[in-house]
Copies of this chain bind each other. A is one copy, B any other.
């Protein structure tokens, strides 16, 4: 299975100057369990195909599938861990797409690419980046894409 995964990048905490267009970051992998799928869906997306493996067989998914928002949460965790930024990253908007279901036992990995960088004119070290994050499973299938506008270098 692991030959479908990229080698995780190891990156020290970065500032805006470290983000260059085209730079990529590969996350660790994350195993998705049935228990976690059901726990998340119970709280945030209580639809039967995310809650009940038997009932889900009669659904579009033909079996238990993770909520898209659960996949988004896992992808965020992998993204945050693989793209460490001094002061953190604050997303303001983005486009998300779910292309394939995520199943119990799947492993997810996120590859993120810097698409654009805009430094603040008035505030040194601050700026906005556009990041594209692709979440893949152990088969190499893309399960989610997310392109986001992210603020970097903001402090209180």
Q: List chain A positions with a Cβ less than 8 A from chain B.
A: 40, 43-49, 57-62, 67-69, 72-74, 76-77, 80-81, 87-98, 151, 154-156
Contact = CB atoms under 8 A, between A and B. Distances in A.
The binding surface of chain A is classed by DSSP as mixed
Contacts of A95: 93-96
Contacts of A68: 91
B67 A76 contact: yes
B156 A88 contact: no
Contact of A74 (B44, B47, B58, B151): B44
Assembly of this chain: how many copies? 2
The 3 closest A-B pairs by CB, nearest first: A44-B73, A60-B154, A93-B97
Nearest to A67: B76
Contact of A151 (B58, B60, B69, B77): B60
B43 A80 contact: no
A47 B89 contact: yes
A153 B31 CA distance: 30
A88 B44 CA distance: 14
Most buried by B among A48, A58, A76: A76
Nearest to A153: B60
A97 B40 CA distance: 22
